Amino acid sequence: MTTIAHEWLRAASYDLVLIRKNRQDSFLTGIVSFHAQQVTEKCLKALLEYKCRDVPKTHSLERLLALVVNDVPLCLNSDFIGMLDKLYIDARYPGDLGLLPQGKPTLEDVDEFYRFAESVFNQACQIAGVCESDFIEPQA
């Protein structure tokens, strides 16, 4: 794997750890959900690097997914891609950061986003031939 792809996955792992440690905090649901978008974005960019493709300077998960979908076998729920894009792309001001169209994400939303982000991370690591445990600290 290219070094840059490896670094994208390492960066995604940090976001994943942050989610894991804070996903039960109802005060932080918007921020934690935002980090699920970050995991997904960084994993898609890692896969582009892994396939020696240009990585655009975009945060749009839909655009990134369209660039990798023909090169790698990902199993992703497109509804989550759209929701996570709204958490990042549509949130340009502090008052909107980490909000869904219906408002602040619930703890249940956070749990779903976490499972989605973890799945994307695991798939990206598997495709790139990397062991997830190289990045993720053991769960306590």
- Whether 33 is covered by a domain: the verdict is yes
The pLDDT score that the predictor gives to residue 103 is 77
Asked if the structure places residue 137 within a domain, the reply is no
Asked if residue 138 is part of any domain, the answer here is: no
Query: What percent of the chain lies above the pLDDT cut of 70?
Result: 85
How does pLDDT run across 92-131, given as a tens digit for each residue? 555 555 666 677 889 999 999 999 999 999 999 999 998 8
Residue 85 covered by a domain: yes
User: In sequence order, what are the residues at sequence separation of 6 or more whose Cβ sits closer than 8 angstroms to the Cβ of residue 43?
Assistant: 8, 9, 12, 120, 121, 123, 124
CATH number at residue 84: 1.20.120.330
Which residues make Cβ contacts (< 8 Å) with residue 1, sequence separation at least 6?
50, 128, 129, 130
Asked if residue 140 is part of any domain, the answer here is no
What are the pLDDT digits (tens) for 41-63?
999 999 999 999 999 999 999 99
The mean per-residue pLDDT over the stretch 2-30 comes to: 93
- Domains in the chain, number: 1
For residue 103, give every residue at least 6 positions away whose Cβ sits within 8 Å of its Cβ, in sequence order, or none: none
Q: For position 126, what pLDDT does the model report?
A: 93
Q: Do the domain assignments include residue 122?
A: yes
Question: Is pLDDT at 133 greater than 70 in this prediction?
Answer: yes
Q: Report the length, in residues, of the chain.
A: 140
Which domain does 121 fall in, by range?
A: 3-132
Residue 8 lies in a domain: yes
User: Is 98 a domain residue?
Assistant: yes
pLDDT value for 26: 94
